[in-house]
Structure 1
Amino acid sequence: MPSVWWKDNAVQLIDQRLLPTRLETATLHTVADVAASIRDMYVRGAPAIGATAAYGMALAARLSTAPDREDLLDDLKEAKHVLDAARPTAVNLAWATGRILATLRAAPTADPEKLRSLALAEAEALAKADVEINRRMGANGAALIPEGANLLHHCNTGSLATVDYGTALGVIYACHEQGKGIHVWVDETRPRLQGARLTAWELMRAEVPMHLIPIHHDWITSSSSGRSL
């Protein structure tokens, strides 16, 4: 399932803070809402953050009342500043906001309404490309995994970390879809428990055979996860 999308002139995403006990969607109506969702970990994972920020730029364009092109671009530059500051270490964030702004700057004859449409179209293209890349990565990776493999997965790299499907977890999904009979060991991934809360939840929903490995206070080298490695 997708982690973030555009609907009814707003950004919608899964509130990952509530998983695995509750699956709820947050609807974001302002750029400040989008920035807060990134800062406060509603959304996490570099590709998912990038797509969320791109949709945030589209939202900024829609909300802008600028009467001309230059004023609209100024509003978008301010939105980029707000969004980028939400998670300065997330490389995909600044890349995505920069991509939207560059697309609009590359349309010198477009009026504000056209620029608003371009911003949303580019955000949608970015999100679509992420899913397509993930599926190709999954297919290529699955070709390297033998039948009946036991795989160890750390953190979360699935649909929740991307727009949909996932990167490393996408390889696992592709193996499962091909009937390779794999099994996944999921470590809980402290301190935020992305493995226990998110990856285990995703795999159970997809009916991929898995077991969760709790990591004890003496850390991974002496745990069952360490022995698996």
Structure 2
Amino acid sequence: MTTRVEIGSCTLYRADCRDLLGSVAADVIITDPPYGEATHRGARTLKDLADRPICFDSITPEEFMACTRRFVSVARRWVVMTCAWQHAARLEASDLPLVRLGVWVKPNGAPQFTGDRPGTGWEAVAILHREGRKRWNGGGHHAVWQCNIEQGEHPTQKPLRLISDWVKQFSDPGETVLDPFAGSGTTGVACIRLGRRFIGIERDPRWFDLMCRRIEEARNRPDLFAPKPEPRPVQITLF
């Protein structure tokens, strides 16, 4: 059963995005789909590596590709999403309109704790656009974004600074931004601050309730969510 909540210029749905995408329209999609099973099994947050595994379902490569096709058909302009590098490789080899593969560089990302190989320190960013003229607000900016990981109530909550950059660069004021895997609602918070309309879809009632609370707080207290200056990265010593 779908739950719909309206908060200012934001429309929030508790639903599975696969059931709802045919009935919503957006100018831009900015989202963070689940990763694959192996990544979910091994992933931990920086703060509690042992106690906070990713606690939501992974997505198969076939599901990822099917969702991406739907996203391209729904968005009038850009589709921007973080994704596992394995999924990015499938996009590169597909017939989908991939414009660029970018990266989010994480200066404070976890090192390789085994010490027997380099750590990762980045995530892939897939940037797609349906056929037609392309325009963005980033000028000559490379598809490389450097931003520290931030701890939040959601185990994979993306930094507001990062998502705000994408909202500014890939959408215009007054446009509608859709996040089909909305989680804690960071994309919605960025849209409120930057004058965009927002549609968020999240099926897990825990994260849906968190999204509603954060969106309401951002609407009533926009200063509460102003991005803070980034601390200097701290080198983690293994030995």
- Does the pair score TM above 0.5? no
Structure showing greater relative contact order (alpha-carbon pairs closer than 8 Å, 6 or more residues apart)? 2
Q: Report the TM-score when normalising by structure 1.
A: 0.32
Which structure shows the bigger proportion of residues in strand conformation? 2
Larger Rg computed on CA atoms:
1
Which structure shows the bigger proportion of residues in helix conformation? 1
